[in-house]
Structure formats: structure tokens, C-alpha cells
Amino acid sequence: MQGFDFILFGATGDLAMRKIFPSLYQAHIDGFLPSIGRILATSRSAFNTEQFIEELSSKSKIHIKNCVDKKWEEFTHGICYLSINLNDEKDFIALKERIGDKSQNIVIYFSISPEFFMQACKNLALVGLNRDNVKIILEKPLGMDLHSCQVINNEIAKYYDEKQIYRIDHYLGKESIQNLLILRAFNPIFASLWNRKHIDYVEISVFETLGVESRGEFYDNTGALRDMVQNHILQILSLVAMKIPPNLDAESIRKAKLELLKALKPLGDENIAKDVIRAQYIKSGNFKAYLAEDNIKENSQTETFVAIKAEILDDNWRGVPFYIRTGKRMADSFAQIVIQFKNKESLKPHSNKLIIHLQPDNQISLNLSVKKNGKTMKCEEKDLILNLNNTFIMQPYERLILDAIEGNQASFNHKEELEVAWAWVDPILENWREHKTPLYFYPAGSLGPKESFELIKKDGYEWHNF
């Protein structure tokens, strides 16, 4: 890998301490960061480098498994700190002087609120930190709807070309997601079956046992649809259903995802009424209600659970339902993709399903009908499991940061992908703002509202749990 300068805005923030620095440390001990690379941490805090390293050690090391002190000292030796006010041009002049003119590969990570993106880009451009050798990584959320997303994208585009912009979605860095395209492209069995002729339905679930925790103010203005569906889940859906391009390079993958997202059937009020469920968790046992969480508005209508039946209007998937759901304060934490294959009417209810487990397990299982042991010809279901946990697993942020340093955009979002996804989600948000469909409720620690089970049951299916 070529040398680099990695500049992190928001270096004292929670994301930086929990994910970004532990990932950089892991890349260092894995041998993926070259010794000629430099890390420059910045924030508004008035630290010097020594004080920042003390802060980093106290807040970041606890998120690293088996942190070795000698390796940590070696890693932090290459970090320097600079206090920067994002609105002060003089601070950006100081940043440019600290970097110097010799660097050929500069990566700037915006671990800051999107409201500061545009001012930061403007000031970076003023000091020449927008030339071709500069790349920027943008954290979500990019907007709260289509219009605000376009405003951010258009303003940033004044200073950086699209090829310089890396919009990060950590789900795309997960090993199982990275495996999905390989599984589809290089296994003739699945390649030949991956269409409406052989697939009955597809299910994508992302559940968390956690509530909103300390993120109440952010979450109450965001909700599950914006926080999970618009970005993570629609990205997963696009990788499941997109046409496999001849080459798995960044441009081809992003073009295929965009084509798929444009083929999603638009949702009007009639569709939303019957195919979209929103709900909020209520008190159950030792779990308090969402409305009792810290920094939640009184009588808030914010959804903590969403289930949607989606359809894709192209020849490969027409008529195949895609069921997606996500929720907080659920009975268990897991993320999975279920591909339910069709079977002959005479052989029902026996049918195979492929389950791609994203978390907590990193594995792929194929559910098969096999003969029961003994003097019988009756069937039972068994799973053929490919366990990826026993191999080296690179963490999502580590993989994506290294991809950005290397200039590989394959696992990052193009602006058009996000805008098309917002265009699909916006009618749902508008419907909810106008109270055209109800907010349902579910007990904290459950599998969601009964209405979500009815959503899939009316089509003759049921959710696959755990």
C-alpha cells in the first residue's frame, strides 16, 4: 500500500473512540498500515498531542480486544493532534502547513455532524486541500430527506469531484456482505436460481436488543426508517437483487446497485396503508417505554420498528416480495438475509432456504430437507453451514478505511444511490407526518408488533427468527 496522511475531524467524538481509532490500530497490528503513513487527529478540544494520546488511551483502548501495550505505544507514536475550529480559516492554514506539500495520498475523515460538512469542505478548498490527491470520507446521516441530501451533495460537489468522495456505510464492510457478490457470481448453483422462477420471497431483518440508550435526542428526530432502512437495509437489498455485472469493480457495482434501486416499486398512500408497518416499543418487564427514555419528546410519534413489503419492477424479480424489518429493544440481536426458494406444490411444505447471517454470527447456512435416520422415509430439515467465524475476519471500519486509502470505492455509496433511496422513502415519511397511517406498539423485548406478523402471514409466509 502507498503512503498516506489520514486526517480525522471529530477525533474526540464517540465514533472515533469506539470504532475509528480501534480500526486504525487493528490495521496497524495486522500489517496493513505502512510505516510511512501519518495520522493527524483534530477536534475543537484544546489538547496538545500528549494530552490527546492520554484521552485516546483512556477511551479507545477499552474497545480493543487483546490490546498490547507495546503495539499501542507504537501505534500512537505516529499520531499528532491539532485543535481546529471548522469555521476558522486560520486553523485550516495551520492544518495545511502541518501536512506539508509532499503528501501524495491524503484521506480526510469527517466524523462530525453533517451540518458542518459544507463549511469544512469550503475551508479545505481555500487552502488547497481538495486537489486530486485528496479523498474525503463522509459519515451518515446524509440528510433527513431527499431535498436535504441533495443540498449536502450539491454543496460538497462545489469543492470535490465524485471520485474523491467516499460515503461510508459500515454494513457494506461486513464480511458476509462482501461475500454476497462472490457467492452469487461464482457459484453456478445459486447464479442459475437467483430469479423469480426459483425464489419465493426474500427477507431482510436487522434487530437490536438495545433501546435508544444515550442517543435519544438524535434518534427521536431520526427514527428507524431513516436510521436503518434508507441506508443500511436498502443497500443490502440492492446487493441481494442487483444484476451481477461482468466485472466486480467499483463503477460496475455502483451502477448495478443504482439500477436496482430505481426499479423499486414506488409506494403511494394505498401501498403504505397495507404494506408498511411502523411501531414503537412500550414498557415490558424491566424495560421502560420509548417515551420514558432520556431526551425523548412527550408523546413522540417516532418509530422504533419498521416492517415493509417491497417489490422490484424488473423482469428478474417481478412478483417476488421483499420483506424488510428492523427494530430496537427486540427479543434478540441479529441481522440476516433469508432467500426462500420455491418448491413444487406436491412437495410443500418442504422447501430450501439460504440464510446469510450478518451478525452476531458470520456464517452462511443452506436449509435442506433430508431423510430422518432410521426405518423411515420421512423428511426433516437440516442446515448445511459455512462458518466464517473460524477464519480471519476484518472489521468493517478497518476494511473501509483501508479501501479509502487505496482508492477503492466499491463499498461506498454513490450520491445517486442515496438520492434514489431517499426518493423511495420520502412518501412514507410524508404519509406519517400527515398521520394517514397508525403508529402501532410492541412490548420491549419482543419480536415486534402483531401487525408485522400479519403483514407477511397474509401472503402465506412467516418470518424466520434466529
Torsion-angle region of 367 (φ positive above 0: left; ψ -120 to 50: alpha; else: beta): beta
How is residue 230 annotated by DSSP? I
Residue that has been written with the C-alpha cell 440481536 in this structure: 333
Distance between CA atoms of 380 and 382, rounded to whole angstroms? 7
Between CA 1 and CA 23 the distance in angstroms is 17
State yes or no: 350 annotated in a binding site. Answer: no
Is position 44 annotated in a ligand binding site?
yes
Instruction: Return the ∠ at Cα 170 (arms to 1 and 167), rounded to 5°.
Output: 75
- What string of DSSP letters covers 2-45? ---EEEEETTTSHHIIIIIHHHHHHHHHTT-S-TT-EEEEEESS
Task: Give the bridge partners for 8, in sequence order.
Answer: 41, 109
Q: Three-state DSSP class for 323?
A: strand
Residue listed under C-alpha cell 396503508: 273
DSSP 109: E
222 touches 342 (CB < 8 A) = no
Q: Is 140 annotated as a binding residue?
A: yes
- 283: annotated binding-site residue? no
Phi/psi at 372 (5° precision)? -70, 150
DSSP string, 269-311: HHHHHHHEEEEEEE-BTTBPPGGGSTT--TT----SEEEEEE-
Annotated catalytic residue 232 = yes
Residue recorded with cell 400527515 = 434
> Which of 28, 232, 357, 414 is labelled catalytic?
232
375 annotated as ligand-binding? no
Q: DSSP string spanning 395-435?
A: -HHHHHHHHHHHT--TTSB-HHHHHHHHHHHHHHHHHHHTT
Give the residue numbers annotated as catalytic, written as ranges. 232
Binding residues for NADP(+): 44, 140
| Binding residue numbers for substrate | 170, 174, 208, 227, 328
Which residues carry a binding-site annotation? 44, 140, 170, 174, 208, 227, 328
